[in-house]
Amino acid sequence: MKNATITGWGKCIPQGVVTNDDLATVIETSDEWITSRSGIRERHVSHVNNSDMATLAGKRALAAAGLQPTDVDYVIVATCTPDRQIPSSAAYVQSKIGAVNAAATDINAGCTGFIYGLSIAHGLIATGVANRVLLIGSERITSYLNLEKRTTAVLFGDGAGAVVVEASVDDSGIKSMAVGADGNGAEYLTATGLGTEFIDQDSEIAIVMDGAEIFKGAVVKMGDGTVSAAKDAGWELDDIDLVIPHQANLRIIDAVRRRIKADESKVFVNIHKYGNTSAATIPSPCVRHLKRAGSHLGANWCSLPTAPASHGARQRSSGATEPSRSRRLMMNFPSRTRPALRSSWPSRRLSADDRRCPRYGRLSRNRSRNRSPTRRRRICSGCELCVEFSEG
């Protein structure tokens, strides 16, 4: 049976940042109240479609793997905030990146979506259905938030992370998976106002959650999932070099760390900068650590999602290296980019000069312009960020 390993990685983090102090201008809250209860200090908010973030993350992952879009056999997007119910976000991504040979489908499993997607990608490769899978976790969850409910409005952020999963020629890659569900906890975290259940009801779109129940279930399931996956992989808990938990709440992360008796230095935490980005919380940290290839290639990783019903997954990172600079997607962001938040979110007004292309000095409005046969300047029509890449 073929093994599956990660060979490429990329992410897309929106440039709009909303701090706790920003939220305090529209919600009865404070930086101390939010930080002490969640560990979150700021979050990123997107003003472009979810599929646009997923597309950019996917392009970066393909560039890191040294692949062309036509090399992809399967596109999987894990999200609970799709652009539309039909078609899937994966269909939009497939079209935007030009993966004309790939099948495309979404997974809606909330915060556990990326791990479920990884298990599916592993199965597709193990059975020979696909050799290369582009797996993306992407969320624009702030569009679901009700700013009158501070218990949920302060927790979430937007973002996307992507990996390329390929068949492995050695023993590196995914060693074991431990996934599960408990439908009895369905009401502990849900979104109202969406779905056929609400068609004849005057119900607003909002995230509704029972924080106490989620905390109890998450700590137990994440801890037990780690033990189960480690046992299946033939590892001891001390063999773990890096734990990447779902970034839902700093208290949950600390409780899980104590439950599995992991050293604090081995547990990745970035919730203070990004908040809970649901299906994107695990792939985004993976990107950061995979870029530090020298210290993490060949290490034992443990990734843990959390939700009212979830377990963990375990993998050994692959020995992939980044391709040469000429084959990588390179991003040049303006030093200050307009957050352009939703009208209900606190925002900062920036002048036209703040939106100028840092290289060409023009306002970021035009779609594209060829500069030479080998270098092309493209402007994303939604996020107004300059994207430059070398076609060599």
Which of the residues are catalytic? 111, 246, 276
User: Which residues, 6 or more positions from 173, have their beta carbon under 8 angstroms from its beta carbon?
Assistant: 3, 4, 5, 6, 315, 316, 318
- Which H, E and C letters describe 93-128, residue by residue? HHHHHCCCCCEEEEECCHHHHHHHHHHHHHHHHHCC
Q: Is 173 left (phi over 0), alpha (psi -120 to 50) or beta?
A: left
How many Cβ atoms sit within 10 Å of the Cβ of residue 236?
Answer: 9
**How far are the Cα atoms of 19, 102, 104, 136, 387 from residue 98, in angstroms, in the given order?**
36, 9, 12, 15, 17
Q: Residue 16 in contact with residue 328, Cβ under 8 Å? A: no
What whole-number distance in Å separates Cα of residue 20 and Cα of residue 40? Answer: 8
**How far are the Cα atoms of 30, 40, 41, 155, 313 from residue 249, in angstroms, in the given order?**
17, 8, 12, 8, 19
What whole-number distance in Å separates Cα of residue 279 and Cα of residue 79? Answer: 6
Sheet of strand 375-379, all strands in order from the earlier edge strand to the far edge: 329-331, 386-390, 375-379, 368-370
Q: Residue 301 forms beta bridges with which residues?
A: 242, 315
| The token pair that represents 303 in the structure block | 């990734």
What crossing angle do the helices spanning 31-38 and 250-259 adopt, rounded to 10°? 20
| The token pair that represents 375 in the structure block | 């270098």
The angle formed by the CA atoms of residues 40, 46 and 51, to the nearest 5 degrees, is 120
Residue 287 three-state SS: helix
Q: Residue 392 in contact with residue 326, Cβ under 8 Å? A: yes
What whole-number distance in Å separates Cα of residue 224 and Cα of residue 219? Answer: 8
The angle formed by the CA atoms of residues 337, 343 and 344, to the nearest 5 degrees, is 120
Hey, what amino acid is at 260?
A: I
Cis omega (within 30 of 0) on the bond before 373? no
